Structure 1
Amino acid sequence: MPRVKRGTKRNDRRKKILKRASGYFLTKSKLYQAAQEAVERGLKFAYIGRKQKKRQFRSLWIVRIGAAARLNGMSYSTFISGLKKAGVGLDRKILADIAVHDAAGFAALATQAKSANGAAKTAAA
């Protein structure tokens, strides 16, 4: 019975890890075991980072919308509440973009939100 040979599978796997580790400092880019640990750690941080990126962008949008709302004499929460009552279905990403690039358009949205808030207050009274 002939002996079993691994072929290139082992080398391919090692090469893949070392290729991913290129640019790492000292042995982390040269030695397989150190490279494997560094790559696994890097992949873990990359996974976490993809989740954090979404949170950070949302908070950035909220800050931008809040700043633009303040320029129009409202707080962020009253602005968002007014938009919901007015039936405006724009998400925070689009609202932040409008706030940065189209001040007149944002002001129009703010007046719409104000009127919706005012109508809701009079209806409640």
Structure 2
Amino acid sequence: MVFLTAQLWLRSRLTDRYWRVQEVLKHARHFRGRKNRCYRLAVRAVTRAFVKCTRARRLKKRNMRTLWINRITAASQEHGLKYPAFIANLIKGVLIGDRLYSGVLITLENCLLPDDKLRFTPSMSSGLDTDTETDLRVVGCELIQAAGILLRLPQSPPGIRDARRALAQLHCYGPPEVAMATGQVLFQRFFYTKSFVKHSMELLETRDWNKCLYVALLTFQHVSMACVHLASKIEEAPRRIRDVINVFHRLRHLREKK
């Protein structure tokens, strides 16, 4: 013999029947007739309305897609192109403004500044050797790269990925994410006009290389932080300044543990 008295006394985990009824009647208040107050009729009407509402959303998305395809087809036919050919070429190429390019080439020959201006930097004029300046530039770009990963900045689209990869391979600073590559370019341009020595006066006072690198990192950390924040706005993926500061604060503590 099974005694169910104790089990029946326990409170069920489900919502009370009263509140379940009120939830259904709340959705049926705008119905006409007895469906807005009779629970048995209201359940059927509300269930049917939810099903048709879901189907209506699907139909709306399908209609919007058809509308956009018709608009693109009409615009492309004015220039003698069909919709499939236009979309295929658009995926393969890079659309800049109203022109379609097969690719973007970024090399040393396609540089805005001449080599004679890039060869002698302000840091060299202040007495910093080339190897130390290169290492400091690498550390700054690695800091920007790590911050971009923690901030979950978006990666580059397929058309611009080759251009960003070329830019990243040109400076040898990690994979080609759009915002991170832009931040690294801003960092490089800043220190082509400013000196590492003037922005870190403690750099030449220490003889230990690890300590020297750590002191320099603390000084131009603000420059890297500003480059990341500005690059996220340029690439239309803005991040809050509070999040950027928190990420760089975390990276600083991780380097202190090492």
**TM-score calculated relative to the size of structure 1:** 0.59
Partner Cα distance (1:12, 1:84) in 2: 53
Q: Which among 15, 22, 28 is matched to residue 22 of structure 2?
A: 15
Q: Which among 70, 75, 93 is matched to residue 77 of structure 2?
A: 70
State the Cα distance separating 1:87 from its structure 2 match.
Answer: 5.0
Q: How large is the Cα RMSD of the aligned pairs?
A: 2.9
- 1:37 paired residue number: 44
Q: Share of identical aligned residues, percent?
A: 36
Q: Which among 55, 64, 70 is matched to residue 57 of structure 1?
A: 64
State the Cα distance separating 1:58 from its structure 2 match.
Answer: 1.5
**TM-score calculated relative to the size of structure 2:** 0.31
Partner Cα distance (2:73, 2:80) in 1: 10
State the Cα distance separating 1:21 from its structure 2 match.
Answer: 0.6
Letter in 2 for 1:33: R
- 2:33 paired residue number: 26
Partner Cα distance (1:67, 1:23) in 2: 42
Letter in 2 for 1:69: S
* Structure 2 spans left out of the alignment, 5+ residues: 103-258
* Structure 1 spans left out of the alignment, 5+ residues: 89-104, 116-125
Task: Point out 4+ residue stretches in structure 1 off by more than 4 angstroms.
Answer: none
State the Cα distance separating 1:38 from its structure 2 match.
Answer: 0.3
State the Cα distance separating 1:48 from its structure 2 match.
Answer: 2.1
Letter in 2 for 1:52: L
Query: What is the count of residue pairs matched by the alignment?
Result: 92
- 2:135 paired residue number: none
Letter in 2 for 1:38: A
After TM superposition, list the pairs within 5 Å mapping 1:46-125 onto structure 2: 46-87=53-94, 108-109=98-99, 112=100
Partner Cα distance (2:42, 2:51) in 1: 14
Partner Cα distance (1:68, 1:22) in 2: 47
Compare CA radii of gyration and give the structure with the larger one: 2
Partner Cα distance (1:30, 1:75) in 2: 56
Partner Cα distance (1:12, 1:78) in 2: 57
Letter in 1 for 2:34: T
Partner Cα distance (1:60, 1:28) in 2: 37
- RCO comparison, higher one (Cα < 8 Å, 6+): 1
Higher helix share: 1
SS at match of 2:17: helix
